[in-house]
Amino acid sequence: MAEEEKSMVEKILDTERAGYAYFYPSDGGNRQEFFISTTPENMANFLGNHFYDAEKMIITDMVDRLILDTCGGFINTCPDQKLCAEIIPYLAPIQMGEKEAGEILMVTREESDMYFAAEDQAVTMAECQMM
């Protein structure tokens, strides 16, 4: 795993809010999966960055419970209305063209799986050495 991706996974974990984003392109291409920070600002940046090229986006927590989904570039379902109210002030200016989406804390699902596999291996090796 490249140092840049490892650093990004660590930044995501440092936010203490992480989950998965599933992106369905409007051109009918394959679904893309990402590991992202699920802070309101980061989710708004992710959604705003794909406002025009997404048919649907789904963001879940680490155990795949729904945080939100979209229809087109707009939030469709967000069970936690308090969280939805925290996202909108970041997202609305991006959707209205008043500002650009900021940096998105994300890596591909494949990159995050490699990071976690390496972490699991390191823990296993440490436990074996303690025997």
**Residue 77 backbone dihedrals phi, psi, to 5 degrees:** -130, 130
What distance in Å separates the CA atoms of residue 38 and residue 36, rounded to the nearest whole number?
6
- Residue 130: the pLDDT is 73
For the stretch 10-38, pLDDT in tens is 999 999 999 999 999 999 999 999 999 99
The yes-or-no verdict on residue 129 having pLDDT over 80 is no
- Residue 120: the pLDDT is 76
Number of domains present in the structure of the chain = 1
What distance in Å separates the CA atoms of residue 49 and residue 104, rounded to the nearest whole number?
9
The yes-or-no verdict on residue 124 having pLDDT over 90 is no
Average pLDDT of the residues of the chain? 93
Domain of residue 14: give its range.
3-129
